[in-house]
Amino acid sequence: MRETLDCAVLMTPGHEAWVQDWAGRQNDQQGRLRLYPQALSELASGAPDTRLLARARLALRRFDGCLVPVAPASLSWVRTVLANAGSEPRTPLVALVFDITAPAILDLLALGAADFIRAPACPDELRARLLRLRRAARPAAAPAPSGTQGGAAGALYALREPVAPYGARTGTRRAATRARLESALAALHAQEAAQADEPFRQAKARVVEGFEREYLRRALSRHAGNVAQAARAASKHRRAFWALMRKHRIDAAPYRNAADSS
């Protein structure tokens, strides 16, 4: 008889209503995956928003996995929570992504998400991924997955290891994480370009633009939207940093708002 897995479903901002309804409908089918809607504010009562996931770690350990819905409107919040969750062992987090770009998904993986699935979620697929993560967490070394998300799955697997918050990393750790992110991003874009028979120059320009956008977003996130500090950390003149932000239509305000709400 196959085992039943228990999965927490976090009610991230903007997802509270549908999570309750979806989990109830899936549980009524009595499958081999049981879904439990969870409010982080209740699991970590009294903790600041940025530390909710870190404080809820013990409460979530009774589950086999944790599903985290992520949409464009909640992406910044989820990033902040993951970045402050720490790198200690925890229940595997699977991001359920709604209209999220590939660079943003890679960022979530680099910040500590163990895997991702795209909405609408398939319970059987989620259960299969949780089983794989469970096997990979065993003491014996687990092989890299054969890849169900395309030719860049090997690069995505390399990013599954949870990482510490930016402020706690050494320069070597930060450089290694950035190198893995760049490699995975390049691999993903290169594979997409090859499938579409995209010209080399055009594919290269797209990869560079994707890296620039993601670098800017991560820099602004680390420095709470302070452009001067982000530019200084990037070893770029503030005007040049502003020019890149205008080029990619990136606004610093959301990163300041995320910091103010923490």
Structural domain count of the chain: 2
Is 158 inside a domain boundary? no
Pick 3 or 228 by higher pLDDT. Answer: 228
Per-residue tokens: 63: 């589950």
Of 132, 153, 174, the position where a domain reaches its end is 153
Instruction: Write down the pLDDT at residue 158.
Output: 43
Whether 153 shows a pLDDT value over 60: the answer reads: no
Identify the domain containing residue 52 by its residue range: 5-153
Task: Report how far residue 63's alpha carbon sits from residue 129's, in angstroms, rounded to the nearest whole number.
Answer: 14
What was the pLDDT predicted at 147?
44
Q: What is the mean pLDDT of residues 229-238?
A: 91
Which pLDDT does position 231 carry in this prediction? 92
Averaged confidence pLDDT in the chain: 75
**Pair of tokens at residue 132:** 């794989």
The answer to whether residue 177 scores a pLDDT higher than 90 is no
Domain with residue 137: its CATH number is 3.40.50.2300
Whether 49 maps to a domain, the answer reads yes
- Asked if residue 161 is part of any domain, the answer here is no
Tell me if 159 is assigned to some domain: no
Poorest-pLDDT segment among 102-111, 151-160, 201-210, 213-222: 151-160
171 and 236 share one domain: yes
Q: What is the mean pLDDT of residues 111-136?
A: 85
Please say if the pLDDT value at position 165 is more than 50. no
The residue ranking higher by pLDDT, 258 or 53, is: 53
Is the model's pLDDT at 89 over the cut of 60? Answer: no
Q: What's the pLDDT score for residue 190? A: 59
Same domain, 145 and 220: no
What per-residue confidence (pLDDT) applies to 255? Answer: 78
Domain boundary residue, one of 127, 153, 179: 153
pLDDT over threshold 90, residue 228? yes
Question: At 3, phi and psi to the nearest 5?
Answer: -75, 155
Query: The tokens of 261 are what?
Result: 């709400």
146 and 171, same domain (yes or no): no
pLDDT in tens, 30-53: 678 889 998 877 776 666 666 777
Question: Among 38-42, 84-88, 151-155, where is mean pLDDT lowest?
Answer: 151-155
CA distance 155 to 192: 14
Q: Are 53 and 40 in contact (CB under 8 A)?
A: yes
Q: Are residues 209 and 188 in the same domain?
A: yes
User: What would the mean pLDDT of 2-12 be, rounded to a whole number?
Assistant: 83
20 and 122 inside one domain: yes
pLDDT of residue 107: 85
Contacts of 52 (CB under 8 A, 6+ apart): 40, 41, 43, 44, 81
149 and 174 both lie in a single domain: no
Residue 115 Cα to chain centre, angstroms: 8
Q: Spell out a b/e string for 26-41, using b for 16 or more CB atoms within 10 Å of the CB, else e.
A: beeeeeebbbebbebe
From 124, 153, 182, the end of a domain falls on: 153
Model pTM score: 0.51
Percent of the chain whose pLDDT exceeds 70:
69
More confident position, 147 or 202: 202
